[in-house]
Amino acid sequence: MINTKRTILTSVGGLALTVALVGCSAGGAPVEVDLGSGPAVAGTVKAGALDGVTLTLASWGGLFQEGQVTAASEPFAKESGATMLEDGPTEYAKVKAQVDSKQVTWDIVDSDIIWADMQCGDDGLLMDLDTTIVDTSNIPDGLVGDCYVPAMQYGYVIMYNEDAYPSAPTGWADFFDTEKFPGKRAIAGFEDIGPGVYEGALLAEGVAPEELYPLDMDRVYAKLDGLRDNLIYWKTGAESQQMIESGDADMALVWSGRGFGAVENGANYAPIWDQSLVVADALGVPKNAKNPDAAFAYINYYLGAKQQATLSEITSYSPVHRDAKPNLSELGQEFLITNPDISEQMVPTDASWWSENYDAELNRWLDWIQG
Amino acid sequence: MTETALIGGARQPKAPRASSGRAWLLLLPAYALLLGVFVYPVLESVWRSVSDPTLGLDNYVWALSNENNVGVILRTFGNGLLATAICLALAYPYAYLMTIVGARARVALVVIALIPFWTSLMIRTFAWIVLLQDNGVVNTLLGAIGVGPLELLRTNTGVIIGLSQVLMPFMVLPLYAVMSGIDLRLVTAARSLGARPSVAFLKVFVPLSMPGVIAGSLLVFIQALGFYVTPALLGSPADSMLAQSIYAQVSGLLQWGRGGALGVILLVVTVLLLAVIGLIARVSGRRGINVKVL
């Protein structure tokens, strides 16, 4: 990541003015907050504890951020007295610029979980979680890091065309078996890398889920080489859904929300939940935030069962509280990865392995994909 | 630029000297803009290509020793040439038709040529996705006549189809501009002197239309080299062109130096090709073919 620094330094120059301007409006000394006593309980905040505090949530916009506002920000503002502002989309260079200049205007940042994991510790951009304020006890395993909680979770799942395959494929081995299941496979192919077909390649080889990491990437690419001629690549979630709805992909590895969207629109495709992957977005507090206690209080509130249920109902992503019971359509329930029938079949992924190997693996992937 | 300025000055021959001197100031905004948004970024890219992350030619070594990059560069120029050839083959007869039909038909032909020009590039490219996909219109029609289905979307064929259609107006318009200035009586004269129609066309009309051919080809070719959206949407990452590779380096990997090196290579090769074309044009100009474009 040597080059990141240079890029970001340039952005700092460009941002200086913005930061200065925003800094004035958001200025003022940190407000002392009294969040009450006793252990934190997710989904609650002491009434009126944050009168006079202003917090800004930076997220990805669109339906997802609308869901966050309705499910968490609005009720949180009402109960705590805080003023909640929205910004976005999340840009990592901006987070870096704010932290470096000690002018942090994004108090809570929604980010990719791999990026978040790279930001934990002394050199990172995110603060360690204050677990006296944030109750993480109901979050599913493997999704909490030192400096972040999951913002939502979803499945990375194979969808297959039920018309194309009268005898249904059942897992990763079939995804890679082009003799038994001929046809095109759609996978992600853009300038980013993370859990996905790589874990799938090893699972197809029979590697046990708990022995996946560290990933044996030579073995992964040997497996992928055999599938190359059958692969087509999507660059956005919308495109992946389009490939299913148009029937271009006989099997597609997609985000569960997109699989849901395609089936809801009438595509005769079905998910293979067996050994599908759990992935998540992250929520963290940048270092040098003006009022970290208040920001963590927001995160604690965000993680409540009711808030998470509402978020799922609006966004079709799955909740990160074990007891969240979103009121969804029958089809929606079939794509809810917290549904026990589904969750017990899924395989967790390791964001820290990906964050440690991100640059090298992204280079290798882009070389392979163009080769 | 300089020529434009001189022409601008020449249009007011009676104005006092001082005023025509000040008229040069009119160029300042354009030059300032060019300096700020073209010259500076280009120099910055060149500088980064030899300095990021360390001083030296590492980025160029990477760019030219990596098999994929060489493939991408060759594919980029190959696609550019192919798209240019297709545009020329389709646009030449079309532009010729525009010059020989009546006024009303000509308006219709101009409008048809311009409609894509007025339509957003994104819309046209997305339309091609709908047309070219496996169960799309093209494959359905091909299926009806017993051909296919062909793999079109997410292939290099799809990219070339898209590029050719998107860039077509840039071929039609210069061709028409030149052809409409050709005195058709010259062709008639050739025929009256005994030339067969095809000979009269090839020996008289075609050489006179060469400036349009060269201008249109250059416009199409150079634009095709730098195209991003169309290949990104119609092609697959496995068939990527240079602009996509540059994007991947800069935006995905934050390797500004490598992106810069690829950009500089594109620029240098393009300039070299232009120089060669200019040379050919000049030589053929001496042989009596009137080529004033370069």
pLDDT digits (tens, 9 = 90+) for A154-193: 999 999 999 999 899 999 999 999 999 999 999 999 888 9
Share of chain B above pLDDT 70, in %: 90
The complex scores an ipTM of: 0.75
Using an 8 Å CB-CB cutoff, list residues of chain B that contact chain A: 52-53, 66-68, 71-72, 133-136, 153-154, 232, 236-238, 240, 245, 247-248, 251-257
Of A17-26, A141-150, B28-37, B236-245, minimum mean pLDDT range? A17-26
pLDDT of residue A19 exceeding 50: no
pLDDT of residue B163 exceeding 80: yes
User: In this structure, what DSSP letter does residue A87 have?
Assistant: E
Q: Which chain B residues are Cβ-neighbours of A11 within 8 angstroms?
A: none
Burial (Cβ within 10 Å: 0-12, 13-18, ≥19) of residue B66: middle
Work out whether strand A231-234 and strand A83-87 pair parallel, antiparallel, or are unpaired: unpaired
Into how many domains does chain B fold?
1
- For residue B194, being part of any structural domain is answered with yes
pLDDT of residue A204 exceeding 60: yes
**Which whole number is the average pLDDT over B106-130?**
90
CB contact under 8 Å between B134 and A235, yes or no, is: no
Extract the tokens encoding B113: 């040529």
- For residue B52, being part of any structural domain is answered with no
- For residue B13, being part of any structural domain is answered with no
**Which whole number is the average pLDDT over A6-21?**
41
- For residue B42, being part of any structural domain is answered with no
pLDDT of residue A15 exceeding 80: no
Q: What is the pLDDT of residue A11?
A: 43
Q: What is the pLDDT of residue A185?
A: 97
Nearest CA-CA distance, residue A184 and chain B, Å:
11
- Residue to substitute from A10, A191, A245, interface B, most B β-carbons within 10 A: A191
Residue of B217, B179, B211, B167 whose CA lies nearest to B101: B179
CB contact under 8 Å between A232 and B236, yes or no, is: yes
- For residue B108, being part of any structural domain is answered with yes
**Which whole number is the average pLDDT over B100-126?**
90
Neighbours of B6 (CB within 10 A): 10
**Which whole number is the average pLDDT over A227-256?**
93
Q: What is the pLDDT of residue A2?
A: 40
Q: What is the pLDDT of residue A141?
A: 82
CATH code for the domain in which residue B264 is found: 1.10.3720.10
Count CB pairs under 8 A between chains A and B. Answer: 64
Preceding peptide of A89 cis, ω within 30°: yes
In b/e form, how buried is each residue of B51-62, taking b as 16+ CB within 10 angstroms? bbbeeeebbbeb
Q: What is the pLDDT of residue B101?
A: 92
- For residue B35, being part of any structural domain is answered with no
- Residue to substitute from B131, B134, B255, B256, interface A, most A β-carbons within 10 A: B134
Read off the pLDDT of residues A282-326 as tens digits, 9 standing for 90 and up: 999 999 999 999 999 999 999 999 999 999 999 888 999 999 999
CB contact under 8 Å between B257 and A367, yes or no, is: no
Nearest CA-CA distance, residue A202 and chain B, Å:
23
Better-scored residue on pLDDT, A7 or A267: A267
pLDDT mean across residues, chain A: 89
- For residue B28, being part of any structural domain is answered with no
The Cβ-side half-sphere exposure at B225, using a 13 Å CA radius, reads: 21
pLDDT of residue A242 exceeding 50: yes
Residue B291 pLDDT grade (very low, low, confident, very high; cuts 50, 70, 90): very low
Residue A227 pLDDT grade (very low, low, confident, very high; cuts 50, 70, 90): very high
Nearest to A3 among B67, B135, B256 (CB): B256
- What is the span of the domain harbouring residue B114? 58-285
CB contact under 8 Å between A233 and B236, yes or no, is: yes
Supply the pTM of this predicted model: 0.79
CA distances from B122 to A189, A195, B127, B228, B239 (A): 20, 31, 8, 11, 20
- For residue B6, being part of any structural domain is answered with no
